[in-house]
Amino acid sequence: MARNKFDIDENLEAPFDIRHFKRAMVYIRKQKKPMIIALILSALSAGIGLSAPLILQHVVDVTIPAKDKEGLVGWSALMLGTIVVSVILATIRSRMMTRVGQDIIFDIRTDLFKHLQKLPFQYYDDRPQGKILIRVVNYVNSVSDVLSNGIINFILEILNLVFIAIFMFAVNVQLSLVILAGLPVFLGIMLLLKTKQRRAWQAVSNKSSNLNAYTQESIAGIRVTQIFTREQHNEGIFTRLAGNYHREWMRTMILNFLVPFTVDNLATIVGTAIYLIGLLALGPEEVTFGVILAMGGYAARFWQPILNLSNIYNSFINAVAYLERIFETLDEPVTVSDKPAAHELPPIQGRVTFDDVTFAYDPGVNILEHLSFDIKPGESIALVGPTGAGKTTVVNLISRFYNITGGKLMIDGNDIADVKLHSLRSQMGIMLQDSFIFSGTILDNIRYGKLDATEEEIIAAAKTVCADDFISEFEQGYLTEVNERGSKLSQGQRQLISFARTLLADPRILVLDEATSSIDAQTERLLQKGLNELLKGRTSFIIAHRLSTVKNCDRIMYVADRGIAESGSHDELMALRGRYYKLYTAQKMDAV
């Protein structure tokens, strides 16, 4: 999948076809029972409502000429009764359907979220977060009504039409044919609009997705925006994106307005034709005044369900544009997943073997080529080297966040491609460069990866990484609430918390990616003591630009030129007088 950006419309990889709708039926089918009850209630309510013109016809043609006052009161009461009953039934139905709609939303959204949780890093690398977010929140909301009420209303309106047709044909066949004459014109216009409407709704979904992506990105990057005083420039981009959305929305609405406009005009023309033809062509002998009144009522009622059907159709096309995106996300392959025959990785010692490993994020652009090394359990390895050389990539591969392109990667002799991901990752402790803090308390954040950890264990982990001091200084201590991303904390404090989080899991393999880059030298020295204890007996990979922090590691690997350019202890590499030596001496000189 090509990378996407906030100003690039997403292309659909699989165009909508009937199978998508069948898939939507999976969610609808779960709600079969309440939907059938709602349908029956609605049919009853509509049927009762339909008797009104018949009552009216009887009253005008029979009761009033006969001056039957008692009959008039009786018929009026009956008419009122039909209205009350149909309102009650409609209210019950609408309550039921609101629940059905919400249940469908819940199911789709849960499936989406579950799937998103499984999608590999690569999926998130390739698209703006805002475009993912809009699918889970807005798009799902937009389809709920069509998948619940839309289906029921569709069946009902069809039934309604059939009922009306039966009633009106029962009253007068010729005038009924006049009412039906407008239908072919209407269908022709709808056919002409169909493709345009579908494209228009797709464009609306694209533009709203772009707008969402940019808004999300702007909020996430607001600090940088204000530092570089880019507000005005960003406003320009936002205005352009919002303008695109506005334009597409208006275009779609104009197409939509054509439908009720057509129906209204056809209904008026047909209604007028009934009076003209009824009175002039057929004459008072064939049609009584009551018949004309009743047929006028049926003409208006006949075109109402057609208008409703075209609105349902329109919202269906709209929903299709969103369903396409939702199913596209659900269909996104989980490229990093357990093989069918995957086995549990037994408790590991921590041997890590790269056997001729080649890796590319994008096909054809190798970041690592034919990389081979063997790390013994308990060894501490430093990965150093220039920016962008592939240090983070190496450690990401050990946890199988990406699939390798060639070769074999083994832990204790088990090919990691053949083991269950959970059993692999749960034995690794990884502290990424971006120490993400979740909203909640500091305690929750440390406990994130080990939900059954006791408070004592949490405090012990925090003490080991020197986080206890600053946490205890907060008024609420470990119960201090922090914001998403930890904006109330300093960068170093965030790192210490995520350090504690990583260590709490007691992993056999530890990965620390620039884990101490934001920690002051004194805390780092203190931390180092605790860390040395912790690193004992564990295989560890430490990525650091500050070489002083890694010079005591058992082995230092200098990552460059798509592989390991130099490997050995600090003393060995210094004696080699190669790239590591240059880097180290340069850093030393800077420090003086």
Ligand X SMILES: Nc1ncnc2c1ncn2[C@@H]1O[C@H](COP(=O)(O)OP(=O)(O)OP(=O)(O)O)[C@@H](O)[C@H]1O
Binding mask 71-110 for ligand X (x = CB under 6 A): ----------------------------------------
Instruction: Give the CA angle between residues 54, 60, 61 to the nearest 5°.
Output: 90
Closest approach of ligand X to the CB of residue 191, in Å = 46
Closest approach of ligand X to the CB of residue 580, in Å = 15
Q: Is 390 in the site for ligand X (CB under 6 A)?
A: yes
Residue 125 β-bridge partners: none
Among 225, 231, 193, 541, smallest CA distance to 391 is for 541
Q: Which is nearer to ligand X, 367 or 467 (CB)?
A: 367
Among 210, 244, 318, 392, binds ligand X (CB under 6 A): 392
Q: Is 2 in the site for ligand X (CB under 6 A)?
A: no
The region of 38-46, 99-107, 283-291, 391-399 touching ligand X under the rule CB under 6 A is 391-399
Closest approach of ligand X to the CB of residue 390, in Å = 4
The single-letter code of the amino acid at 253 is M
Q: Which is nearer to ligand X, 127 or 325 (CB)?
A: 127
Which H helix or E strand runs over 220? helix 183-220
Q: Which is nearer to ligand X, 367 or 511 (CB)?
A: 367
Q: Which is nearer to ligand X, 169 or 361 (CB)?
A: 361
- Number of residues engaging ligand X in binding (CB under 6 A): 11
Among 93, 391, 508, 551, binds ligand X (CB under 6 A): 391
Closest approach of ligand X to the CB of residue 198, in Å = 34
Closest approach of ligand X to the CB of residue 588, in Å = 20
Residues 19 to 48: which contact ligand X by CB under 6 A?
Answer: none
The single-letter code of the amino acid at 12 is L
Q: Is 387 in the site for ligand X (CB under 6 A)?
A: yes
SS3 assignment, position 367: strand
Q: How far out from the chain centre does Cα 261 lie?
A: 36
Closest approach of ligand X to the CB of residue 332, in Å = 16
Q: Which is nearer to ligand X, 235 or 362 (CB)?
A: 362
Closest approach of ligand X to the CB of residue 391, in Å = 4
d(CA 403, CA 439): 31
Closest approach of ligand X to the CB of residue 124, in Å = 9
Residues 335 to 364: which contact ligand X by CB under 6 A?
Answer: 361-362
Among 70, 56, 67, smallest CA distance to 288 is for 56
Q: Is 389 in the site for ligand X (CB under 6 A)?
A: yes
Which H helix or E strand runs over 409? strand 406-411
Residues near 158 by Cβ (< 8 Å), separated by ≥ 6? 305, 309
Interior/surface letters 261-286, b for 16+ CB within 10 angstroms, e for the rest: ebbeebbeebbebbeebbeeebeeee
Sign of the CA dihedral 231, 237, 239, 245? Answer: negative
Instruction: Give the CA angle between residues 346, 352, 354 to the nearest 5°.
Output: 125
The region of 283-291, 328-336, 389-397, 475-483 touching ligand X under the rule CB under 6 A is 389-397
Q: Is 397 in the site for ligand X (CB under 6 A)?
A: no
d(CA 486, CA 434): 11
Among 388, 469, 472, 491, binds ligand X (CB under 6 A): 388
Q: Which is nearer to ligand X, 100 or 383 (CB)?
A: 383
Q: Is 243 in the site for ligand X (CB under 6 A)?
A: no
* Count of beta carbons in the 10 Å neighbourhood of residue 127: 19
Closest approach of ligand X to the CB of residue 369, in Å = 12
Q: Which is nearer to ligand X, 131 or 207 (CB)?
A: 131
Among 258, 421, 287, smallest CA distance to 345 is for 421
Q: Which is nearer to ligand X, 367 or 462 (CB)?
A: 367
Which H helix or E strand runs over 560? strand 555-560
Closest approach of ligand X to the CB of residue 110, in Å = 28
Q: Which is nearer to ligand X, 371 or 453 (CB)?
A: 371
d(CA 138, CA 318): 13
Residues 363 to 382: which contact ligand X by CB under 6 A?
Answer: 367
* Count of beta carbons in the 10 Å neighbourhood of residue 535: 20
Q: How far out from the chain centre does Cα 446 lie?
A: 27
Q: Which is nearer to ligand X, 245 or 541 (CB)?
A: 541
Closest approach of ligand X to the CB of residue 11, in Å = 20
Closest approach of ligand X to the CB of residue 445, in Å = 24
Torsion of CA 536, 539, 545, 550, to 10 degrees: 30
Q: Which is nearer to ligand X, 125 or 231 (CB)?
A: 125
Bridge-based pairing state of the strands 509-513 and 428-431:
parallel
d(CA 78, CA 75): 5
The DSSP line for 413-428 is TEEGGGB-HHHHHTTE
Among 7, 13, 125, 484, binds ligand X (CB under 6 A): 125
d(CA 355, CA 406): 9
The region of 63-71, 200-208, 386-394, 490-498 touching ligand X under the rule CB under 6 A is 386-394
Among 559, 541, 563, smallest CA distance to 550 is for 541
Which H helix or E strand runs over 558? strand 555-560
Closest approach of ligand X to the CB of residue 195, in Å = 37
The region of 279-287, 333-341, 383-391, 419-427 touching ligand X under the rule CB under 6 A is 383-391
The region of 155-163, 184-192, 388-396, 464-472 touching ligand X under the rule CB under 6 A is 388-396
Contact residues for ligand X (CB under 6 A)? 125, 361-362, 367, 387-393
